[in-house]
A and B are shown apart, each in its own frame.
Chain A
Amino acid sequence: MSPFTVTEANPLRDAADRRLPRIAGPSGLVIFGVTGDLSRKKLMPAVYDLANRGLLPPGFSLVGFARREWAHEDFAQEVHDAVKEHARTPFREEVWQQLIQGMRFVQGTFDDDDAFERLRGTIEELDKAQGTGGNFAFYLSVPPSSFPVVIQQLKKHGLADQTSSSWRRAVIEKPFGHNLESAEELNKVVHEVFAPDQVFRIDHYLGKETVQNILALRFANTMFEPIWNRSFVDHVQITMAEDIGIGGRAGYYDGIGAARDVIQNHLLQLMALTAMEEPASFDADALAAEKTKVLGAVRLPKDLGRDTVFGQYAAGWQGGEKAVGYLQEEGIDANSKTDTYAAIRLGIDNRRWAGVPFYLRTGKRLGRRVTEIAVVFQRAPHSPFDHTATEELGKNAIVIRVQPDEGVTVRFGSKVPGTSMEIRDVSMDFAYGESFTESSPEAYERLILDVLLGDSNLFPRTEEVELSWKILDPIEEYWDQHGRPAQYPAGTWGPVEADEMLERDGRSWRRP
């Protein structure tokens, strides 16, 4: 028997042994802005859920960094409360005991050199006490204006330096800039300190099971892909609607708007996954290559005034509650032109999609919270049934419901029982959401694990971010110079202008 070296080929690992989960190697996670909402509601519970599922390495460490005057115990207590309240899996004491051993808190502000020295000390102490092996991911859950200073501090104090046997990674949240120029600026700042393959941009939509299921649906089956092209598809609608207003995020939201907040990242990513060609494999490079190709082929409408709409919610009733208009929200300038609703029509210049419009829309204070991708098919070229028989028949559609009721709906015509020939739309439903997701992981769980594993499949890359801005920038500029946002009453499906925009094309929005 020849001796084997374990790291190269761990004899206990076997590709055929699919019960064994992917466990991250020795590592730790440092969260900046650990007192924020995202951290409490999503990150800490996700870390616990990962530990509970046995996916974190022994000795995994969690370091919080914030201004608050906390001792390690206060921090642990905070995490404990957050986990109890928000974790998906039941609270178990022994899992908590495992986690708490590696919990540390570092107090300080982002410009405080001493604090970053203490952070370095903490990391070195954890390497000794917990065996984290120098592998740390820095999660920047901080306002965009603080990105550069934190990144620079990490560099200055040697925290971003990886050795041959350890890694340092940066995790950043949207917004990735507010236009192409600022995105390039941000990328420059980050890449100066972290290598591009060590930077993970979180788009939590991509961590959702249903979004990953788009790839399975398209490329693991034979029945969808043959009709997934201009010969059969009439148009595609991608919708992300929220029923809430801007809440307390006035400072962040005003001046950014719905298109920058949602279309630039989530919707363009969903469009790329829906429209891209089959990747050669499912590794990160092949996926990114296909997504980049399709984003690069996006064509803007010639007349931006005709084929884009931006709007603002006005006062109204939303689901039985009275809602104030955007301009009346606290902290919003009464003359603000910020869009809370955006609808755009895009084309894709390639053989598969030429001439097929992709309608993207998003908005706040719409009818209900829903995200879906609807691929709407052409009518049958010839119908043997007379006009009255098919009067109620719409176009066939495949709808991928991303949230909240995850699943896939296929809509087609069927004969209404009775003596006369009458055909009406029916839905065939794959209830992915109702049953599977009860136990399926949260997006952040998946994404944090992928960061620790260094698996960048589900993270948009620099090129994708920059291409997305190239698509959106001309639209934003046009809106800036032409007219004011159309008003729509809160709780409706957007301004009439958006309905008219589709009517001009002889189509209509789905009511999701």
Chain B
Amino acid sequence: MKIDLTDTTSSKINKALVQGRRAIGTPAVGMVLTLVIVTDEENAYDALKAANDASHEHPSRTLVVIKRVSRSPRDRTQSRLDAEVRVGADAGSGETVVLRLYGEVSEHAQSVVLPLLLPDAPVVVWWPVNAPLDPANDPLGALAQRRVTDTYASEQPVRELSARADTYTPGDTDLSWTRITPWRSMLAAALDQVVCEVKAVEVEGEEFNPSCELLAMWLADRLDVPVKRSLSSGPGLTAVRMDTDCGPITLDRADGSLATLSIQGQPDRGVALKRRETAELIAEELRRLDPDDTYASALRFGVERLNSGLVSAVRGAEAAEAAVAKAVQAVALAEAAVARAEESPADQGEGSAAGEADAGGADARGADAGGAGEGSPAPAKGAAVGTPAEIAAKAAAASASAKETKAQEPVTKAAAK
């Protein structure tokens, strides 16, 4: 059942939860954790769906914190909390509260969340997008034992990985890391089967996919050998090649589902390595709530220490070309976004400066979606990594400057390689 509460408070929400449980006749439920999802309106549906699926394995109270953007100065001075309480069949196996925060209260989301946490149960915060730079010191992140970010969804995944390493606090984890568990276990299984020493490794995958970097860093960290990161057109990770003293070991996945494991002197074998749904990733993430030291160690190895070996010139050149092509596309999209923002400020912003910036930001994100459809999500995005409010403020400027800076960056990056 659903209970809608408008302009409400945490204590009224708590009452509604008790009332909802009574009404469906299950006054006590065995929920094992509180999952707080911090997201914006457009990602809320997918995130909540994934969390509900995962709740079949981990019955939890799910709190979805949606910070609404205020369109006018008057809106910003008024604050309001709306809540939607779902219990029973509508909420997976647990309870769900969708919280919408307007105005000033959106800066104090922790005050809303704190009274709603399950007593004495672990708290997990998950940012599907726009994770704070320092999750452990974020007011909401500070409530949690475990903080789940997703660098794959960020503007500049690889740069953000470095930022994550700088601010790493035990309990931090990232879905890009979760995504590679099947790869890691298959590679470990491959090494179980041979008595060889690994000399060098190459990890191949699409650009702007932090999972590839993380896998490469994990291998470099564990094996203590040079690891090369090379590019392919994806999807996701496409191959890992290990050079050993008894011949090459290759795990090759061209199509994103069925991979081939080749070991020198052994027959080639097919192994299923399907890219997984977000719900599965979250379920894996919730299985353990203690600090993931292996992740910390891999993350801290440092992106910049990869590729210390030589990259094949041909591959580098190809990648550079591809990057340029993507950048050109991105510029076109960004221009379109700016144009639209300039045409229609009145629709969305009542003509105020903030309103314009906001509209620009929204459209720029729309442009991202278009870019993603064509297989090049990252270059089209604005440079800012920060809170939605910051992005909104910077978006107009960013999308304008994107023409210059963003177009150049992938090229210089590729050239550097």
Contacts and interface: CB of A to CB of B under 8 A. Distances in A.
A108 interface: no
Complex A-B, nearest 7 residue pairs according to Cβ-Cβ distance, in ascending order:
A435-B59, A17-B294, A12-B188, A58-B269, A59-B269, A94-B257, A439-B57
B192 A436 contact: no
Contacts of A14: 222, 294
A428 B258 contact: no
Interface string A396-439: 00000000000100000000000000000000111110111011
A272 interface: no
19 contacts: A6-B191, A10-B191, A11-B191, A11-B224, A12-B223, A19-B181, A19-B288, A20-B185, A20-B188, A23-B186, A58-B269, A58-B270, A98-B269, A131-B263, A133-B193, A435-B58, A435-B59, A436-B59, A439-B57
B93 A434 contact: yes
Contact of B184 (A20, A52, A57, A58): A20
B212 to A, nearest CB: 17
B283 A439 contact: yes
A129 interface: yes
A54 B263 CA distance: 19
Interface in A297-326: none
Contacts of A97: 258, 270, 272
Given A19-B184, A94-B258, A436-B57, A6 B269 contact: no
Interface in A1-53: 1, 3-7, 10-14, 16-21, 23, 25-26, 51-52
A19 B284 contact: yes
A50 to B, nearest CB: 12
A248 B57 CA distance: 36
Contacts of B271: 58, 98
Given A14-B222, A20-B188, A131-B193, 20 more contacts: A6-B191, A7-B192, A10-B188, A12-B222, A12-B223, A19-B184, A21-B185, A23-B185, A23-B186, A54-B185, A54-B186, A94-B274, A97-B258, A98-B272, A133-B193, A429-B28, A431-B59, A432-B30, A435-B57, A435-B58
Contacts of A92: 272, 274
A492 interface: no
A507 interface: no
Contacts of A122: none
Interface of B: 28-30, 55-59, 93-94, 178, 181-182, 184-198, 219, 222-224, 257-258, 261, 263, 266-267, 269-274, 283-284, 288, 292-294
A25 B189 CA distance: 7
Secondary structure call for the A interface? loop
A26 B193 contact: yes
B59 A11 contact: no
B86 to A, nearest CB: 16
A25 B30 contact: no
B56 A435 contact: yes
Nearest to A13: B188
Contacts of B178: 19
A438 B56 CA distance: 6
B93 A435 contact: yes
Q: Which of B29, B55, B192 has the most chain A CB within a 10 Å cutoff?
A: B192
A12 B187 contact: yes
A18 B288 contact: yes
Contacts of B267: 59, 128-131
A423 to B, nearest CB: 19
Number of chain A interface residues as a range: 35 or more
B94 to A, nearest CB: 8
Contacts of A51: 272
A208 to B, nearest CB: 17
Nearest to A126: B267
B188 A19 contact: no
Contacts of B263: 131
Contacts of A457: none
A438 B284 CA distance: 15
A25 B56 contact: no
A128 B224 CA distance: 32
A440 B193 CA distance: 28
A429 B30 CA distance: 8
A7 B288 contact: no
Contacts of B261: 58-59
Nearest to A131: B266
B193 to A, nearest CB: 6
Given A19-B288, A98-B258, A439-B283, A54 B197 contact: no
Contact of B30 (A21, A98, A431): A431
B174 to A, nearest CB: 12
Contacts of A58: 186, 189-190, 261, 269-271
A101 interface: yes
A57 B189 contact: yes
B293 A16 contact: yes
Contacts of B57: 435-436, 438-440
Contacts of A432: 30
Contacts of A20: 181, 184-185, 188
A393 interface: no
A484 B56 CA distance: 49
A128 B269 CA distance: 11
Interface string A450-464: 000000000000000
Nearest to B31: A435
A256 interface: no
B225 to A, nearest CB: 9
A12 B224 CA distance: 11
Interface in A121-151: 128-131, 133
A435 B266 contact: no
A5 B195 contact: yes
A356 interface: no
A95 to B, nearest CB: 4
B272 A95 contact: yes
A97 B193 CA distance: 22
Interface in A82-98: 92-95, 97-98
Nearest to B265: A131
